[in-house]
Chains A and B, each alone.
Chain A
Amino acid sequence: SQQGEEDPQALSIQEGENATMNCSYKTSINNLQWYRQNSGRGLVHLILIRSNEREKHSGRLRVTLDTSKKSSSLLITASRAADTASYFCATDDYKLSFGAGTTVTVRA
């Protein structure tokens, strides 16, 4: 069974707007990772946040982690057309488990 679940399943925004997606998981984790997948390609790692961290930034990406609620969020600020992709969270207990993903469409 899948550990992480992303919400919403799909998101459509205008270029320049922010995009927020959430990930909920079921059991204790060592870390949580976010990946991006462009259509027809493999997944690309975006950011890793450890269980003792609450927030992490990378460029226009901001990730939060709330271990008490077993949830994480990914915020993409000032979105661009190139951000159109599917985004997955992955949780690590002793192996990575991926959610079903959030499909983000950025309209020009």
Chain B
Amino acid sequence: NAGVTQTPKFQVLKTGQSMTLQCAQDMNHEYMSWYRQDPGMGLRLIHYSVGAGITDQGEVPNGYNVSRSTTEDFPLRLLSAAPSQTSVYFCASSRTSNQPQHFGDGTRLSIL
């Protein structure tokens, strides 16, 4: 049972490049979410999904897109990377939004 798997673990991008952060879970969880963690800021919600085909914006959605074509996968796309998006990104899943979240180990992203 792998839980929540995030890839890649580390990535360096140049300003303006695009990329997709992958997140997969094998627990058949309906609720999935993406957070970014910056020093002193805690975790801030980017986007979330309550099930396949349903996504919604969180606290800091600008510059990011998501889709949820399957229950298992919830990729996060950076359309045109900016230095302000340098952060650690965490994906999480749970049965519902008010149940304990299972987190991946994060993707450390640097934008130069």
Contact = CB atoms under 8 A, between A and B. Distances in A.
Q: Please indicate whether A and B come from the same complex rather than being unrelated chains.
A: yes
Interface of A: 1-2, 30-31, 33, 35, 40-45, 48, 88, 90, 92, 94-101
- A-B residue pairs, 6 tightest by C-beta: A42-B103, A45-B100, A100-B42, A98-B43, A92-B98, A43-B103
A30 B98 contact: yes
A100 to B, nearest CB: 4
Main secondary structure of the interface of A (DSSP, over half): strand
Contact of A33 (B4, B90, B100): B100
A35 B99 CA distance: 12
A30 B3 CA distance: 25
Contacts of A35: 101
Contacts of B90: 42-43
B101 A96 contact: yes
A60 B58 CA distance: 34
A31 B35 contact: no
A5 B98 CA distance: 19
A95 B105 contact: no
A78 B104 CA distance: 29
B42 A44 contact: no
A97 B97 CA distance: 11
